[in-house]
Structure formats: C-alpha cells, structure tokens
Amino acid sequence: MTDCGQSRKLTRAKLVVLGRDNCGKTALCVRFITKRFIGEYDHKKEVTYRCQKIVDKEAIDLEILDTANKCVGPAASSLESSIKWGDGFLIMYSVTDRSSFESVSRLKRLIDHVKQTLGIPTVIVANKCDMENGRVVRTEEGQALASDLRCNFYELSVAEGTAAVETAFNQLVREVRMEFYRHLLAMDKRSRMLQMRHALKNKLTRSKTMQW
C-alpha cells in the first residue's frame, strides 16, 4: 500500500488501467487528467501519468499506469509486475467489442492471483456507449458481471464527457483509501496484540522470579 505520510492519511496512490487494445484506455486517462478527448493516440506504449486530484475534499497525488494490452505471451509477466505495482485497478472494455468484455474476468482473476487476496480495489468501466449502433454488449451483461466480481460498474462514453470518467476514478480512489484504512487498523491491532503479549510475558517472568 502506498504512502501515508505522518498524518496517517493516504497522500499518494497508484492506479492501473487495464483492458483489451482499442477499448479506450488512453482516451480515458487523458480525459481524466486534461478533461479533453483526443481522437488518436500512440498505441503499444505503456505510459504513467501523474496528477493531483481532490477527491471528497482531500488532495491525493495519483500515478496512473495506462497499460499496453499484453494479456498473453511473454509480455504477460510485465502485466503481472504492473499489477504488483498498483494499489487500485480500473478494468475497461468497449461495448462494441465482445472480446474486450470477455477479457474482464480474466484480468480480475489475474489481479486476485497476483495480489493473493480478495477485495482489491477494482472498478469496471464499459466504454463507447455513444456507439449504440455498434453495441454488442448489453448494459445488463456488464452489470451482472461486475456484480459477480463484486466491483462497482460504470457505463460511459469517454468521447462524450468528463463527469462519468471522474465518477469512476473518484470511486476507485475512495476504495483505495478504504483499503488503506483497513490496512492501518489491522496494523494497529497487531501492534496492540504484540504489546499485550510482551507485557504479559514480562509479568510472568517477574512473578516466576519472585517465586524463586
């Protein structure tokens, strides 16, 4: 889990955007950071963006990794290292591409496998809902899948606006924060237990010494 600073607040988080090629990952990142939609991007390249955002009135420094599609083949190990690196995940598909929808479960399983725990902050985003004529994945299918995978779900069009994109990213940041606080609580509990064990051990040693 990333940095907390001294205030025990999460000040930085690393987010990873995953999904099949051409589903709109770069468009989504650029939209979130610049509020603009730029038609064409350099494919294949993996890019990390840095920005500061205010989510629920608290500032947070974000690093957002826009992955290149590499679910199969030798590059898959590099996908695993991207997953190890991340605190939160946005899995994207396009409603116009069924194979991108089908890759969502695979990616979620990979995240769970690499992180070796369930409940990793993850949201699912269905993109290109402006292309109603080319739609091959129904909204209800996306909702059902997200509910099976216990993830929040957003259907949107990166081309059409910024608000929905911000909503999805903000929810992911919220989930990363919640996970961070859960982690802090667990650490506190563990350290209290260790202190109690230590105190008890000292007490036992003292009473044994007195018996002698």
The count of other CB atoms within 10 Å of the CB of residue 118 is 8
Distant-in-sequence, close-in-space partners of 88: CB < 8 Å, separation ≥ 6: 13, 14, 15, 16, 120, 121, 122, 172, 173, 175, 176, 179
Looking at 6-14, 20-28, 161-169, 196-204, which segment touches ligand GTP (CB under 6 A)? Answer: 20-28
Nearest to 143 by CA among 126, 163, 162, 168: 126
Q: What is the b/e burial string over 33-47, where b = at least 16 CB atoms within 10 angstroms of the residue's CB?
A: beeebeeeeeeeeeb
68 contacts ligand GTP (rule: CB under 6 A): yes
From 81-89, 104-112, 155-163, 188-196, give the range in contact with ligand GTP by CB under 6 A: 155-163
Assess 159 for contact with ligand GTP (CB under 6 A): yes
Nearest approach, Cβ of residue 97 and ligand GTP (Å): 10
Using CB under 6 A, which of 11, 21, 49, 141 touches ligand GTP? 21
50: tokens are: 């840095």
CB of 46 to ligand GTP, least distance (A): 9
Q: Is 158 in the site for ligand GTP (CB under 6 A)?
A: yes
If one asks whether residue 136 binds ligand GTP (CB under 6 A), the answer comes out as no
Exactly one of 10, 13, 26, 83 binds ligand GTP (CB under 6 A); which one?
26
Q: Which stretch binds ligand GTP (CB under 6 A): 33-41, 51-59, 162-170, 187-195?
A: 33-41
DSSP per-residue letters across 147-159: HHTT-EEEE--TT
Tell me if 29 sits within 8 A of 66, measured CB to CB: yes
User: If binding is defined by CB under 6 A, does position 71 make contact with ligand GTP?
Assistant: no
Q: What does the block give as tokens for 203?
A: 């007490």
CB of 164 to ligand GTP, least distance (A): 10
Contacts of 197 (CB under 8 A, 6+ apart): none
Q: Which residues bind to ligand GTP, rule: CB under 6 A? A: 19, 21-27, 39-41, 43, 68-69, 127-128, 130-131, 157-159
